[in-house]
């Protein structure tokens, strides 16, 4: 008499357990593969420069946000732009370190992703360092930037003064050039019908440039007072 085969010797319970283990192994392979992809992606993401990551986040927000207000600018804007303005959601696409030339390069991408009803432009301090361009060139670039938003209401934020209480930043920024920038902003606001957020006489900062919590609150108050008037 022939011995029973392995299959006939297994109990129904053992057979079911074996099938369950096989299914688990089949499911585990794609889960592990997905985990590996996520891990590699996370490592690569953190190798991308911070400014680039923030810029991409701004693009993502512009694409998926229903907010009709777009805020563009530098680290001060990135830090201080409110979640809403005049009762409308704000898409904060500011990038620390940006200059006027960066906004000119970034704005067309943002416009392909959203159609802002209102645009807050708060840029300038990074254009005031050593070897900065002359005011005529800065004015031309700013005017070109505004021309990219013909269908949007514009809110132009003047450049904050450097805080002399923190002398480390004072020699790095041309205060006379800041005054000329702000005069330019006021002139271009008259040309375009934009609202202007005047610069304060002094600001509360943590390092001479970046705002304290109180400074952020004041920045937002000035923005709302000018941007929502009328």
What are the DSSP calls for 25-83, one per residue?
Answer: HHHHHHHHHHHHHHHHHHHHHHHS-HHHHHHHHHHHHHHH---SEEEEESHHHHHH--S
Contact 110, 62 (CB under 8 A): yes
Helix (H, G, I), strand (E, B) or coil at 176: helix
The pTM is what? 0.79
Contact 175, 136 (CB under 8 A): no
pLDDT in tens, the chain (230 residues): 555 444 445 566 557 666 666 665 566 566 555 555 555 555 554 567 888 999 999 999 999 987 899 999 999 999 999 999 999 999 999 999 999 999 999 999 999 999 999 999 999 999 999 999 999 999 999 999 999 999 999 999 999 999 888 877 777 899 999 999 999 999 999 999 999 999 999 999 999 889 999 999 999 999 999 999 86
* pLDDT given at position 22: 62
118-122 vs 153-157, strand pairing mode: parallel
Contact 77, 210 (CB under 8 A): no
Which CA distances in Å does 49 have to 56, 80, 114, 146?
11, 22, 25, 28
* Token reading at 128: 């005031």
Domain locations along the chain:
9-47, 50-227
> How far is residue 63 CA from its own chain's centroid?
12
Of 95, 86, 94, 56, nearest in space to 68 by CA: 86
Which of the listed CATH numbers 3.40.50.300, 3.40.50.1110, 3.90.1150.10, 3.40.640.10 matches domain 50-227?
3.40.50.1110
Q: What are the CB-based long-range contacts (under 8 Å, 24+) for 144-150? A: 144/104, 145/100, 145/103, 145/104, 145/107, 145/121, 146/121, 146/188, 146/192, 146/194, 148/104, 148/107, 148/108, 148/111, 149/107, 149/111, 149/116, 149/119
- Sorted by sequence, the CB contacts under 8 Å of residue 224 that are 6+ apart come out as 82, 85, 86
Residue 85, strand partner residues:
88
* pLDDT given at position 7: 47
Helix (H, G, I), strand (E, B) or coil at 195: strand
């Amino acid at each position: 008499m022939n011995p029973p085969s392995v299959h006939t010797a297994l109990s129904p319970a053992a057979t079911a357990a074996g099938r369950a283990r096989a299914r688990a192994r089949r499911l585990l392979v794609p889960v592990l593969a997905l985990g590996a992809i996520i891990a590699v992606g996370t490592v690569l993401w953190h190798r991308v420069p911070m400014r680039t990551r923030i810029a991409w986040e701004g693009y993502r927000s512009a694409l998926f946000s229903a907010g009709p207000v777009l805020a563009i600018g530098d680290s001060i804007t990135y830090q201080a732009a409110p979640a809403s303005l005049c009762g409308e959601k704000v898409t904060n696409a500011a990038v620390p370190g940006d200059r006027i030339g960066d906004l000119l390069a970034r704005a067309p991408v943002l416009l392909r992703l959203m159609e802002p009803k209102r645009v807050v432009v708060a840029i300038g301090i990074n254009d005031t360092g050593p070897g900065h361009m002359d005011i005529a060139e800065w004015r031309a670039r700013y005017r070109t930037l505004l021309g990219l938003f013909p269908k949007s209401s514009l809110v132009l934020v003047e450049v904050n003064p450097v805080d002399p209480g923190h002398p480390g930043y004072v020699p790095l920024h041309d205060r006379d050039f800041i005054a000329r920038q702000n005069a330019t902003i006021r002139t271009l606001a008259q040309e375009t019908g934009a609202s202007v957020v005047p610069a304060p006489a002094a600001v509360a900062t943590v390092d001479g440039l970046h705002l304290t919590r109180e400074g952020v609150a004041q920045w937002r108050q000035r923005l709302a007072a000018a941007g929502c008037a009328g």
